[in-house]
């Protein structure tokens, strides 16, 4: 039976619906207007910030976006200031370590397909005997590699090269430059480029595709990233390769940086180049949980969930390869620093917004570190910690370091608990370690004796160097001014001291300019080893002659003392171990 409404009833219902629509419409308009006002204010703040830092800006590409569209975009400065080439939407810049999320998304894709297991011992996926420098029985998993908690020491040699002909295939590069495992897996966060490249190699082995080709097919193509390349020389995208050659590099003050262009043998850890739009497309695909990347909702839930926490707290530090950045609220993402570029990808999963910053400046800070605070808000202690933190006592050493071999001296990287800045840190005692946990880094407490011993060694060595230099200058003055000759054997200890120092400075110089070819370090470390052997022989000779009364005691003691100090430093800091390069 059909019930017909009268004209009056229909008119009454229509009137009520119109009234409701009129009441709801302003709310909708207000929401839209609010979003527009918010974006307008943010855009104005960004422009003001850019104007304030114009004098130190080389080139900048910035994109603020939601899952579907670009909301704010800025292209500022120059690809090449000297040639007048300006940054635009087609400018290619380097991602640096933002490449690492590509590795771990690739891992997650193979996990979804059942090819990989996040918690399996990675030796199952590698050739037998591939890992040669493991010092702990606990297995290393892919999750450990994602969290940078595999326990590996840092690597320096041939991390970057300036000659593409020296770059070997990924497996060979990994095999030849394995770092020592210095911590049990899963205990400490020690940033490891080698560990991430190892995960990329596992993807390569299990997918039976070169890693660059796997990413091109399964990530770049899926996201519509037509202007992206990941191979060490960008050869997987000729257009990007051509555009990259136009890019000039600068330092923090926008001065030309002649060492910015390099090649990474361990390329999965940081060799991607693209336009800002393509990096934003990658971020948008993550925000919208694009099924072209991961098909199942459960896979996305796992991928975008915490995989590591700060100590025993519920504060996440890592989301399966994405770091957690503590702004006014937790933001996930990854920063990138190449020898000539700095970049940042930050994602607000809750609001569905993201930010991309790309610059052609080494260790650039204002846009990569300070500007994101305008977008995501400032960190405040009470937003993360229920109780006030108390500054810890003691001295702490960076977990990302080397404790064996010629680069051990780089472990002179300390912070003091009482001098921590008012920023995000957490003091904890867990798994046998007392540490200060910070975003992307742990610092381990060391004893006061160890700290005092290492600092004393360095200070005494500095005195030995000064003593040697003064001895040589006195001999030179005596010869040039007074015409007196000094016996060569008397000057030999001072000459050996200066040879050791110059060889060490050569290593430090090469490290600082990122020209990390192994031959430089083999040569320098071998020279140090030979000079130290000669110095030991001289000390033994001098001690013998002192006992027989053939040398004067006072000057002899001083000379022997400073030679012994040098020998102890060379041995303690492993500077002679050229075979451990």
Helix (H, G, I), strand (E, B) or coil at 312: coil
Cβ(64)–Cβ(354) below 8 Å:
yes
**pLDDT score for 4:** 43
Instruction: Provide DSSP, 515-532.
Output: ---HHHHHHHHHHHHHHH
Residue 10: pLDDT over 70: no
pLDDT at site 514: 58
Pairing of strands 353-359, 59-66: antiparallel
**How far from chain centre, in Å, is Cα 13?**
64
Q: Which tokens in the block code for residue 518?
A: 């192994």
Looking at per-residue pLDDT, the higher value among 102 and 507 belongs to: 102
146 Cβ neighbours under 8 A, 6+ residues apart:
104, 107, 118, 199, 307, 318, 320, 321
First-to-last alpha carbon distance for the chain, in angstroms, is 91
pLDDT (0 to 100) of residue 505:
87
Beta pairing, strands 316-319 & 308-309: antiparallel
User: 1 pLDDT exceeds 60?
Assistant: no
Max CA pair span of the chain: 130
Rounded Cα distance between 402 and 147, Å, is 19
Q: Is the pLDDT of residue 99 over 60?
A: yes
Q: What is the pLDDT of residue 5?
A: 46
Of 535, 539, 395, 393, nearest to 455 by C-alpha is 395
Model pLDDT, residue 428: 93
Confidence class of residue 552 from pLDDT cuts 50, 70 and 90?
low
Burial status of residue 252 (CB atoms within 10 A of its CB: 0-12, 13-18, 19 or more): middle
β partners of residue 416: 395
pLDDT per residue as tens digits for the range 151-178:
999 988 888 888 899 899 999 999 998 9
Taking only Cα atoms into account, the Rg of the chain, rounded to an integer number of angstroms, comes to 29
- pLDDT over 90 for what percent of the chain? 76
Tell me if 134 sits within 8 A of 239, measured CB to CB.
no
Strands of 441-446's sheet in order across: 414-416, 395-398, 441-446, 433-438, 426-430
Which residues, 6 or more positions from 134, have their beta carbon under 8 angstroms from its beta carbon? 140, 181
* Distances 529 to 83, 511, 567, 574, 578 between C-alpha atoms, Å: 47, 19, 10, 9, 8
CA 164 to the chain's CA centroid: 22
Instruction: List C-alpha distances in Å: 446 to 65, 172, 183.
Output: 44, 36, 15
pLDDT tens-digit map of 66-86:
999 999 999 999 999 999 999
- Across 20-24, 315-319, 329-333, 388-392, least confident range: 20-24
Residue reference for tokens 């946990």: 437
The encoded tokens of residue 420 equal 């921590």
Residue 329 reports pLDDT greater than 60: yes
- The whole-number pLDDT of residue 470 equals 94
pLDDT at 551: 56
Higher-pLDDT residue of 141 and 540 is 141
pLDDT(133) > 50: yes
389: number of Cβ within 10 Å: 14
Distance (Å, whole) CA 8 – CA 14? 10
Residue with tokens 């500095």: 462
What is the Cα–Cα distance from 336 to 269, expressed in whole angstroms? 10
Dump pLDDT digits (tens) for 355-392: 999 999 999 999 999 999 999 999 999 999 988 899 99
Alpha-carbon gap, residue 317 to 145, rounded angstroms: 14
| 88 band by pLDDT with thresholds 50, 70 and 90 | very high
In the prediction, which pLDDT does 512 show?
A: 63
How many whole angstroms separate alpha carbon 392 and alpha carbon 420? 9
- Coil, strand, or helix at residue 224? coil
Q: What is the pLDDT of residues 186-236, one digit of tens each?
A: 999 999 999 999 999 999 999 999 999 999 999 999 999 999 999 999 999
Per-residue pLDDT tens over the stretch 29-58: 233 334 677 899 999 999 999 999 999 999
Stronger pLDDT, 521 or 279, i.e. the higher one = 279
Tens digits of per-residue pLDDT, 455-512? Answer: 999 999 999 999 999 999 988 888 787 777 777 778 899 999 999 999 998 877 776 6
Confidence at residue 520, expressed as pLDDT on a 0 to 100 scale: 78
For 238-251, what is the mean pLDDT? 96
Confidence tier at 397 by pLDDT (50, 70, 90):
very high
Phi, psi of 409 (to 5 degrees): -60, -20
pLDDT tens figures, 416-454: 999 998 789 999 998 889 999 999 999 999 999 999 999
**Percentage above 70 pLDDT, the chain:** 91
Region of 77 on the Ramachandran plot (φ > 0 left; ψ -120 to 50 alpha; else beta): left
List, in sequence order, every beta strand (DSSP E) within 283-340: 308-309, 316-319, 322-326, 330-338
Residue 26 has pLDDT above 50, yes or no: no
């Amino acid at each position: 039976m059909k019930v017909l409404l009268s004209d009056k009833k229909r008119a009454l219902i229509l009137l009520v619906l119109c009234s409701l629509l009129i009441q709801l419409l302003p709310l909708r308009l207000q929401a839209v207007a609010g979003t527009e006002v918010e974006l307008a204010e943010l855009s104005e703040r960004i422009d003001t910030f850019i104007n304030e830092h114009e004098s130190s800006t080389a080139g900048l590409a910035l994109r603020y976006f939601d899952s579907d569209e670009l909301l704010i975009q800025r292209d500022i400065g120059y690809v090449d200031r000297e040639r007048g080439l300006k940054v635009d939407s087609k400018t290619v810049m380097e991602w640096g370590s933002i490449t690492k999320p590509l590795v771990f998304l690739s891992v997650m894709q193979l996990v979804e397909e059942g090819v990989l297991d996040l918690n399996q011992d990675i030796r199952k996926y590698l050739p037998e005997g591939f890992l040669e420098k493991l010092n702990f029985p606990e297995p290393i998993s892919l999750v450990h590699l994602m969290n940078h908690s595999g326990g590996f020491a840092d690597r320096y040699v041939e991390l970057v090269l300036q000659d593409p002909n020296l770059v070997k295939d990924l497996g060979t590069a990994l095999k030849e430059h394995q770092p020592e495992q210095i911590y049990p897996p899963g205990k400490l966060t020690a940033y490891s480029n080698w560990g991430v490249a190892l995960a990329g190699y596992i993807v390569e082995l299990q997918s039976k595709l070169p890693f660059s080709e796997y990413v091109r097919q399964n990530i770049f193509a899926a996201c519509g990233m037509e202007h992206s390349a990941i191979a060490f020389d960008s050869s997987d995208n000729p257009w990007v390769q051509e555009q990259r050659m136009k890019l000039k590099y600068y330092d923090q003050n926008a001065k030309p940086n002649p060492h910015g262009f390099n090649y990474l043998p361990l390329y999965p850890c940081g060799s991607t180049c693209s336009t800002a739009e393509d990096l934003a497309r990658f971020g948008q695909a993550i925000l919208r949980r694009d099924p072209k990347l991961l098909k199942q909702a459960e896979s996305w839930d796992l991928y975008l969930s915490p995989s590591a926490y700060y100590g025993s707290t519920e504060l996440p530090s890592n989301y399966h390869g994405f770091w957690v950045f503590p702004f006014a609220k937790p933001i996930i993402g990854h920063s990138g620093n190449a020898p000539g570029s700095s970049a940042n990808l930050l994602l607000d999963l809750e609001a569905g917004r993201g930010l991309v910053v790309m610059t052609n400046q080494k260790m650039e800070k204002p846009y990569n570190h300070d500007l994101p605070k305008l977008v995501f808000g400032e960190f405040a202690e009470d937003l993360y910690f229920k109780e006030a933190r108390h500054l810890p006592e003691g001295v702490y050493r960076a977990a990302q370091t080397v404790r064996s071999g010629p680069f051990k001296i780089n472990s002179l990287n300390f912070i003091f608990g009482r001098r921590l800045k008012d920023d995000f840190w957490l003091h904890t005692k867990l798994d046998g370690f007392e540490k200060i946990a910070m975003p992307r880094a742990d610092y381990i407490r060391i004893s006061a004796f160890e700290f005092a011993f290492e600092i004393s060694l360095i200070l005494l060595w500095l005195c030995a160097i000064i003593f040697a230099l003064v001895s040589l200058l006195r001999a030179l003055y005596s010869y040039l001014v007074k015409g007196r000759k000094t016996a060569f054997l008397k000057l030999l200890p001072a000459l050996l001291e200066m040879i050791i120092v110059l060889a060490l400075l050569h290593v430090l110089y090469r490290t600082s300019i990122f020209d990390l070819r192994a031959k430089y370090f083999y040569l320098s470390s071998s020279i140090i080893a030979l000079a130290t052997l000669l110095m030991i022989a001289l000390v033994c000779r001098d001690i013998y002659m002192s006992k027989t009364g053939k040398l004067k005691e006072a000057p002899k003691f001083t000379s022997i003392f400073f030679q012994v100090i040098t020998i102890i430093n060379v041995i303690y800091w492993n500077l002679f171990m050229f075979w451990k390069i």
